Amino acid sequence: MPVLYWTGATDGDWSTASNWSTGSAPVAGSEVIFDGRSTQAVLTGAAIGDTGGLNVDLLHVKSSYAQNIGTNSLPIHLEPDAVIYEGSGVMYLQCSAANASSDSTINEVIVNSAGSLYLSSDVNTAAETAEITLAHIAKGTVYIQDDCNLRNLRIVPTRGNSSNVVVDIGQTCSREKATAANMNIYMQSGTLTIDSPVNTFEVYDGTITYGDSGSAITGLDITTLRMYAGTFNWQPDDTGDDAFIGSLWLYGGTLDASGSVNNDRALVLGNGAGKDIFVYTGATLNINRNSAAITVAGSSELINLGGTITVGRNVQLALTENVSWYD
């Protein structure tokens, strides 16, 4: 397994052999390292197109490397087993297979950076997919671009400092292959903006904005949300069925659906039998919505266990069937 350091001795082309410490460009199984020995950005040559991704063992961008890797229109196409990004520049990384008929996988991406990382998938269809299995964000700014197949996201800021992490997730970031699945998100703190469906969403603190302004799509649903602290601004712009939170455990923090953004879209709490909404002491559910309706789904229950629920004129509650109030 060759270990290659980027020197950029000749130019900014990944494929130029003399730009690497071994005198040859990376091959499958290489460990690829960027560090302070080079001030040359990588601008071209890293398998541009829909195929051509290289299966390296490791891509490690150290904190001593301050230059950019790839561009928005020309991301580097790789299929590393693992990625560690600590650089202070900007990297554009696209998960890509070596040919047009194979799935590709990046097992883990770790970000502890003063810079920015853009992640994308070169393909995400019912026939084939490029999947990032786990992204662990400790520090930095991360953009999960539209249609990226990211299975699990962990946002865990270093020292619990919420200002250390900013994450933006684009539209329809879910697995589209036959075994289709939505991503899971575990958030300790930080700032997250998201415009994609979620399977399990656990929030221990931080600020979440769910749904952008002016970016209507379908399927903006959350299967399960557990929230312990923080603020969750629920404002999906779903053009299909009404967006729902299937099961909700609001142990603390605030789930706020009262904002003015996308307030013409109807929303649903619950998703049928056994998919209930619990609001515990110290938590706030603000559904003071004065535009489109918020409905508690049939066969679901809204159960208040000492929390604060603010209700607006367009909230639809079946008071005799699916609302329980406990002091």
The pLDDT score that the predictor gives to residue 316 is 62
pTM of the full predicted structure? 0.93
The pLDDT score that the predictor gives to residue 97 is 78
Per-residue pLDDT of the chain (327 residues; tens, 9 = 90+): 799 999 999 999 999 999 999 999 999 999 999 999 999 999 887 765 555 688 999 999 999 999 999 999 889 999 999 999 999 999 999 998 777 678 899 999 999 999 999 999 988 988 889 999 999 999 999 999 999 999 999 999 998 788 899 999 999 999 999 889 999 999 999 999 999 999 999 999 999 999 975 566 788 999 999 999 999 999 998 877 789 999 999 999 999 999 888 888 889 999 988 899 999 999 999 998 777 788 899 889 999 999 999 987 666 654 444 556 565
Torsions phi, psi for 164 (to 5 deg): -75, -20
The pLDDT score that the predictor gives to residue 51 is 59
Count CB-CB contacts under 10 A for residue 241.
12
**Rounded CA separation 148/220 (Å):** 15
